Amino acid sequence: MASKTTSSAGKKAALTAEEQQKIVSGFQSLRDEQTQLVQKTQDLEIDLKEHDLVLSTLSTITDKQRRCYRMIGGVLIEHTVGEVVPALQANRDQINNVIESFKQKTEEKAKELTAYKQKHDIHFSYERPGGQQQQSTTNSANNNSDSGTTKKEPQDSGVLVEKDT
């Protein structure tokens, strides 16, 4: 397990496995919240496209007294085109506002995640500088063939998190 070290006036203090787990779980919960916001935004964007499609279809109808049906809460309700179009436009505007709100919250959550990563010195395994992970593997293989023993490579400070696949 990677250890986290902090240096203040030259002193290093390693975190315990439990502390590392708390940091990683806090990071994961922030990522989950951000993912949920993105998913909700995508769902609302689909709804917005559906509203636009219906509005474009209804705009071709010239008879505003023509009957149409609108599903509200799982129940089909009969209306006229003239009644439905303003309601759909109002819904579309509200959905747009919520989408913008979710996008702002997603950006705020991204900033919060970045700050959390920097505060706790969190790095993903693919973010290691200079391909150090591959270099360590190569050095270990060379050390095994030369002396028959494995030398421990110094670990990076920080908490490593595997990338979700």
Q: What's the pLDDT tens digit per position in 139-153?
A: 444 444 444 444 444
Query: H or E segment at 90?
Result: helix 81-120
**CATH class (in words) of the domain with range 18-112:** mainly alpha
Q: What are the domain boundaries of the chain? A: 18-112
Model confidence, pTM: 0.66
pLDDT tens across 35-76, in order?
A: 999 999 999 999 999 999 999 999 999 999 999 999 889 999
pLDDT tens across 79-117, in order?
A: 999 999 999 999 999 999 999 999 999 999 999 999 999
